[in-house]
Every structure is written in structure tokens, then in C-alpha cells.
A = this chain, B = another copy of it.
Amino acid sequence: MENQTQNAFRALADPTRRDIVQLLAGQEMTIGQLTDRFDMTRAAVKKHLTVLSDGGLISVEVRGRERINRLEPLGMAPVLDWLSYFDQFWDDRLNSLKEAIERKQND
């Protein structure tokens, strides 16, 4: 896949996929193990894993007849980069907001 920012954001847009990311943050898992955690067929889980893989968020290691899925820390970089563009903005605005609230409370 070519546009990593788009693929990563797309991958994170689905709640099942965000859950998978959280599970994999705890420990690497096979498709079968993941399927046990969801009310969904193995094939459906596999498709979510493919989207996550396209987004660079996970990597897969073939071990015997199993596929070990694990989180790929580098994959989140495009997302964090995009968001960091606004760090200053959010920071400034949230500070203004906080100050406004404090002013109000002191009235």
C-alpha cells in the first residue's frame, strides 16, 4: 500500500480493529486466539487483520501452521505525525479555554 497515513487512519476507524490493536498491545496473538475474543468468524477477523497490516500497524510472523500477529510500533508514526501538526493548536486553545473557565469561576 502506498499512502500510509490514509491506510493507518482507515485501519483505526473501525472499533473492532481498535480492539484488536489493544489486545495485541498486551500480547501477540494468532488469528484463532483473536477470533475467540470476538463474536465473528475467523475469516472476518482475518480481513480486519489485513486492513491493519495494510496500515502498517501490525506485522505477521509465520510459525509452523500459525500466524503470529503483533503490533508494529513504526506503523503508528504517520498518525502521530499528522496529529502532532496540531499539538500547538490544541494546546493554545485548551489553555485559553481553561483560563476562560477560571476567570468565570472567579466572578
A binding-site residues for B, Cβ under 8 Å: 6, 9-10, 12-13, 15, 18, 21-22, 25, 71, 73-74, 76, 79-80, 82-83, 85-86, 89-90, 93-94, 97
Contacts and interface: CB of A to CB of B under 8 A. Distances in A.
Contacts of A22: 85
B15 A13 contact: no
Tell me the interface secondary structure of chain A in the complex.
Answer: helix
A97 B73 contact: yes
Given A73-B94, A74-B97, A93-B73, A83 B86 contact: no
State how many copies of this chain the complex holds.
Answer: 2
A35 B80 CA distance: 27
A80 B83 contact: yes
Contacts of A6: 15
Contacts of A79: 83
Nearest to A3: B15
B85 A73 contact: no
Contacts of A89: 25, 71, 73
Contacts of A82: 18
